[in-house]
């Protein structure tokens, strides 16, 4: 399963073997906090239509990498592309193509689910009508459609996570980043969320980067990148991602 061979240098937009533009490519990205090296020449690719798992214990550097991809930190070394858009040179285009579920809850607990969706939709240029149509569809598919007018403060942890995923998919991104998205949830809720996102990747060209420390969240046919102490220690694939062959 594991292949530790060095990857070739990326000199332009990265595509998967079918010629479809990669949802995400990270090339030789490093980051330091003072004297501490948090990431050391990390490279990985998330293919369109595939669920890629970033596996590592707490402190491995997963959240730091996510913060660089989402531009919460500025990448000082290396290159990040989202659907071929260089994050440093074209941040607006790159960020518009991604949705994010952070490790810490990010919904406004004082607002209703509807209000949280409206705010997110407005940030992506969606009017209230378009936001409501897309939001209802996502919430229904995640099994929480009846919570549209509930205040977030009244939701369970599993319900709130489903709402966060629906919100992240509201603007139809090509890349979804999930950083320990099932933290604190029970086994059934974790399984349901992971299964839903696998279905989403199989149904279209959504690429998912799923960061976790839980090996039970890794499916046998998921591309896996193992991160340890800020370095990619191994990467592998049990069998080819089926949707790569079916990508339109």
Q: Are both 73 and 60 inside the same structural domain?
A: yes
Q: What is the pLDDT of residues 188-229, one digit of tens each?
A: 888 889 999 999 898 877 999 999 998 888 888 889 999 999
Of the residues 172, 191, 209, the one at which a domain ends: 172
Domain that holds residue 141: 104-172
pTM (2 decimals)? 0.84
Q: Is residue 10 part of a domain?
A: no
CB of 226 within 8 A of CB of 235?
Answer: yes
Q: Report the C-alpha gap between 89 and 91 in whole angstroms.
A: 6
Mode of pairing for the β-strands spanning 85-86 and 77-82: antiparallel
Q: Report the C-alpha gap between 204 and 26 in whole angstroms.
A: 22
Q: Are both 244 and 123 inside the same structural domain?
A: no
Q: Report the C-alpha gap between 149 and 170 in whole angstroms.
A: 17
Q: What is the pLDDT of residues 5-44, one digit of tens each?
A: 333 334 456 655 555 679 999 999 999 998 899 999 999 9
- pLDDT score for 7: 37
Q: Are both 110 and 162 inside the same structural domain?
A: yes
- Its sign, for the CA torsion 27, 31, 35, 38, is negative
Q: Are both 159 and 141 inside the same structural domain?
A: yes
Quote the DSSP letter at residue 61.
Answer: S
Q: Are both 248 and 179 inside the same structural domain?
A: yes
What is the number of domains present in the chain? 2
């Amino acid at each position: 399963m594991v292949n530790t061979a060095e990857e070739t240098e990326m000199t332009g937009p990265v595509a998967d073997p079918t010629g479809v533009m990669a949802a995400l490519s990270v090339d030789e990205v490093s980051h330091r906090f003072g004297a501490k090296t948090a990431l050391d020449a990390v490279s990985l690719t998330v293919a369109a239509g595939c669920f890629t798992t970033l596996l590592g214990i707490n402190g491995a550097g997963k959240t730091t990498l996510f913060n660089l991809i989402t531009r919460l930190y500025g990448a000082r070394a290396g290159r990040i592309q989202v659907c071929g858009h260089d994050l440093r040179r074209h941040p607006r285009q790159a960020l518009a193509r991604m949705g994010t579920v952070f490790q810490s809850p990010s919904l406004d607990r004082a607002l209703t689910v509807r209000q949280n969706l409206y705010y997110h939709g407005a940030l992506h240029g969606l009017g209230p009508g378009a936001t409501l149509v897309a939001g209802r569809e996502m919430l229904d598919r995640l099994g929480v459609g009846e919570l549209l007018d509930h205040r977030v403060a009244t939701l369970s942890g599993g319900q709130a996570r489903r709402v966060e995923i629906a919100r992240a998919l509201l603007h139809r991104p090509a890349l979804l980043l999930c950083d320990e998205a099932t933290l604190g949830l029970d086994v059934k809720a974790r399984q349901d969320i992971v299964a839903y996102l696998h279905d989403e990747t199989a149904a279209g060209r959504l690429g998912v980067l799923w960061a976790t420390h839980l090996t039970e969240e890794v499916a046998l046919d998921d591309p896996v990148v193992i991160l340890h102490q800020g370095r990619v220690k191994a990467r592998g694939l049990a069998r080819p991602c089926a949707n790569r062959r079916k990508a339109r």
